């Protein structure tokens, strides 16, 4: 029986996944390195530094740790500049009504994002108001596919992993949720890969999976 739903942020609650891609692409273009959408998809859910194992794959030479750290900083600056225009209008229309309905049905909701920019995004979009707990990139040491972020979010909600569902657009995120012992729900890229126990095409399909008390759901 599921009591808590843990959400990834970028690409699940808001379309900032595209801004991550564009910021990496900007860096790759400046370095003259090809960077494909497929590489961008593999960066989903992966930390900023770990993404630098993927972004320069086609560079033809390895980069030093110091160079990678400078690249991470450069990308983050470009990304944060893109976030400066973010507002509640950037949250897809079905997201807030769905979160509201799930809370009314008694589910506890938490963020489980590997991003260190999550606080800024929650503030700018107003999404923080719908969450009972927030676990983000500032609270963990190991990024997805490690289960740490989902386990941390469950702990903040005071729920055992077996009572939580993990929703993520990243294949690495679904692997993390599964490793945490949670029911996994894929959307976007991870759903295209059929990585989740449930693979959704729309965010509000959560309302079919998680019924109100006394109602029958699809689970």
Residue 128 main-chain phi, psi, to 5 deg: -55, -30
Instruction: List the single partner that 140 binds among ligand BG6, Mg ion, none, CB under 5 to 8 Å by kind.
Output: none
| Residue 33 three-state SS | coil
First-last CA distance in the chain = 9
Taking CB under 6 A as the criterion, the residue among 56, 114, 161, 177 binding ligand BG6 is 114
Query: In whole angstroms, what is the distance from residue 107 CA to residue 50 CA?
Result: 33
Smallest distance from Mg ion to CB 60, Å? 29
Contact window for ligand BG6 (CB under 6 A) among 26-34, 39-47, 125-133, 192-200: 39-47
Burial class (CB in 10 A: 0-12, 13-18, 19+), 75: buried
What is the DSSP track for 123-187?
A: HHHSGGGG-SEEE-TTS-SS-TTSTHHHHHHHHHHT--GGGEEEEESSHHHHHHHHHTT-EEEEE
- Considering only residues 153-182, where is the footprint of Mg ion by CB under 5 A? 169-170
Q: Segment near Mg ion (CB under 5 A), from 9-17, 47-55, 103-111, 130-138?
A: 9-17
Kindly report whether the peptide bond that precedes residue 145 is cis, defined as omega within 30 degrees of 0.
Answer: yes
Asked about 8 being catalytic, the answer comes back as yes
169 classed as catalytic: no
| Interaction partner, residue 199 (Mg ion, ligand BG6, none; CB < 5-8 Å by kind) | none
**Pairing state between β 198-200 and 133-135:** unpaired
Q: How far is the CB of 170 from Mg ion (least distance, A)?
A: 5
46 closest CA partner among 110, 131, 142, 181: 142
Q: Judged by CB under 6 A, which stretch of 60-68, 95-103, 108-116, 189-197 contacts ligand BG6?
A: 108-116
Q: Using the rule CB under 6 A, is 42 a contact of ligand BG6?
A: no
Q: Which of the ranges 112-120, 123-131, 148-156, 178-186 carries the binding residues for ligand BG6, by CB under 6 A?
A: 112-120
> Which residue's CB is nearer to Mg ion, number 4 or number 188?
188
Decide if 17 contacts 169 (C-beta within 8 A).
Answer: yes
User: How far apart are CB 172 and ligand BG6 at their closest, in Å?
Assistant: 8
The residue from 10, 17, 41, 146 that is catalytic is 10
Question: Which sequence positions are flagged as catalytic?
Answer: 8, 10
Contacting positions for ligand BG6 (CB under 6 A): 9-10, 17, 20, 43-48, 51, 76, 113-117, 137, 170
């Amino acid at each position: 029986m599921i009591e808590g739903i843990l959400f990834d942020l970028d690409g699940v609650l808001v379309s900032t996944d595209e801004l991550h891609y564009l910021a990496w692409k900007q860096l790759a273009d400046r370095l003259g390195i090809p960077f494909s959408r497929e590489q961008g998809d593999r960066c989903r859910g992966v930390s900023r530094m770990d993404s630098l194992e993927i972004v320069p794959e086609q560079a033809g030479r390895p980069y030093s740790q110091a160079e990678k750290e400078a690249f991470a900083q450069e990308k983050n600056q470009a990304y944060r500049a893109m976030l400066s225009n973010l507002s509640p209008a950037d949250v897809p229309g079905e997201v807030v009504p769905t979160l509201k309905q799930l809370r009314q049905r008694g589910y506890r909701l938490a963020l489980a994002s590997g991003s260190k920019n999550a606080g800024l995004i929650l503030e700018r979009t107003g999404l923080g108001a719908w969450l009972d707990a927030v676990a983000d990139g500032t609270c963990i040491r190991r990024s997805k596919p490690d289960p740490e972020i989902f386990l941390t979010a469950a702990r903040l909600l005071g729920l055992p992993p077996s009572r939580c569902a993990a929703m993520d657009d990243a294949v690495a995120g679904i692997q993390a949720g599964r490793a945490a012992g949670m029911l996994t729900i894929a959307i976007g890229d991870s759903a295209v890969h059929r990585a989740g126990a449930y693979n959704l095409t729309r965010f509000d399909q959560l309302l079919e999976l998680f019924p109100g008390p006394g109602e029958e759901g699809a689970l």
